[in-house]
Amino acid sequence: MNRPAVRFSRIARDDVRAATDWYDGIRPGLGAAFMLALEASLQRVRCTTTATRQGQAVESSRVVLRRFPYAVHYRIGRGTLDVVGVLPLLIEPNSPRRHLVHD
């Protein structure tokens, strides 16, 4: 079975950059630990995504990172896992991106 390729939207790349910078500001190397947790979470999704599910339209799903209070919001496309956002689990109520968490 082929695993879906991971693609990050521009916004998701910005989210990851902001989170790693923030964690590195707390303690050098913590941003790298965040990246490892992100990669592990995406690998779990890739390993559990079946071929049938890849062919179906999925509005959106999320996976929570271990050790860090973040969720990866994604969609399964035809042969792709499209990451649309990497957001903290606690988000400001007035944030323009809160709809990603609450829809």
Summarize pLDDT for 15-37 with one digit per residue, the tens: 999 999 999 999 999 999 999 99
HSE at residue 61, side-chain half, CA atoms within 13 A, is 15
CATH class, 5-102 region = alpha beta
What's the whole-model pTM score?
Answer: 0.79
What pLDDT, on the 0 to 100 scale, is given for residue 98?
A: 47
In angstroms, the CA 47 to CA 64 distance is 15
In angstroms, the CA 33 to CA 35 distance is 5
Confidence category of residue 79, pLDDT binned at 50, 70, 90: confident
Whether the per-residue pLDDT at 97 is higher than 80: the answer is no
Domain range annotation of the chain: 5-102
Per DSSP (E only), the strands in the chain are 5-8, 61-64, 70-76, 80-88
For residues 39-49, give the mean pLDDT. 90
What pLDDT, on the 0 to 100 scale, is given for residue 2?
A: 76
Q: Which two tokens stand for residue 85?
A: 């956002």
What pLDDT, on the 0 to 100 scale, is given for residue 50?
A: 61
